[in-house]
């Protein structure tokens, strides 16, 4: 039986949250994963079903969706992801048109970044939803050209109007699939770069200290 030594090092946010490395006498054995290391108080919190992190936080090598271990990069899926939040009042700009909405969004939006790993199950779900959104979007674009050709050849055809109504439905549905493909989304923001994230599973959240999100500002 080979001797196995596993070393775990913990860092503060801004650096790697932790570095897990395994040294095994048998190079052909599958790397073993240990349970998550204890979290340093004050780095990451939770509030109910939400994860509370600061801009630039790097989460540990465990999938936040279901807490399954993920191999460190480059073998596992681990990427820095941009996050953004805008206060609900910005959508009032939509009453004045698309341009005011964009302006309000750019002015009021708070941006950040969080790095996290995804397990095979969560990664597959994200990939499938993005693929579905892409297919629907391409179908909507194809129908646009189809309607143009149909209208030029058969101006009085009722099929043109029916297909024309289908195009925005496909486009909106594709956007919905792109939005829900994100496993982690932003639910709130506080001063000094604190973000409230949703989408994390209870097994992952229960490792962190419970706080009042508003008390962090």
pLDDT at 42: 60
Mean pLDDT, residues 66-88 taken together? 84
* Per-residue pLDDT tens digits for 161-213: 788 888 889 999 999 999 889 899 999 998 888 999 999 999 999 989 999 88
Taking 3-state DSSP, the helix, strand and coil percentages for the chain, each rounded to the nearest 5, stand at 40, 25, 35
| Residues 180/133, Cβ–Cβ less than 8 Å | no
Residues in a beta bridge with 77: 118
What's the CA gap between 143 and 150, in Å, rounded? Answer: 10
The radius of gyration of the chain's CA atoms, rounded to the nearest angstrom, is 23
* In the chain, domain spans: 44-216
What's the CA gap between 141 and 160, in Å, rounded? Answer: 15
Cα angle value 107/190/116 (rounded, 5°): 95
């Amino acid at each position: 039986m080979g001797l196995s030594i596993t070393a775990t090092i913990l860092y503060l946010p801004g650096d790697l949250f932790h570095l897990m490395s395994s040294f095994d006498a048998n190079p052909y054995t599958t790397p073993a994963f240990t349970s998550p290391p204890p979290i340093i108080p004050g780095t990451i919190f939770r509030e109910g079903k939400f994860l509370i992190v600061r801009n630039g936080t790097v989460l540990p090598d465990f999938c936040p969706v279901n807490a399954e271990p993920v191999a460190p990069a480059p073998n596992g899926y681990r990427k820095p992801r941009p996050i953004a939040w805008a206060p609900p009042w910005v959508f009032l700009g939509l009453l004045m048109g698309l341009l005011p909405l964009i302006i309000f969004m750019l002015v009021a939006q708070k941006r950040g970044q969080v790095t996290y790993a995804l397990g095979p199950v969560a990664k597959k779900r994200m990939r499938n939803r993005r693929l579905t959104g892409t297919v629907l979007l391409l179908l909507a674009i194809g129908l646009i050209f189809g309607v143009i050709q149909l209208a030029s050849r058969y101006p009085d055809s009722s099929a043109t109007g029916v297909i024309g109504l289908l195009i925005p439905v496909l486009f909106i549905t594709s956007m919905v699939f792109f939005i829900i493909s994100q496993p982690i989304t932003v639910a709130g923001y506080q001063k000094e770069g604190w973000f409230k994230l949703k989408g994390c599973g209870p097994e992952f959240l229960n490792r962190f200290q419970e706080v009042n999100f508003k008390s962090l500002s």
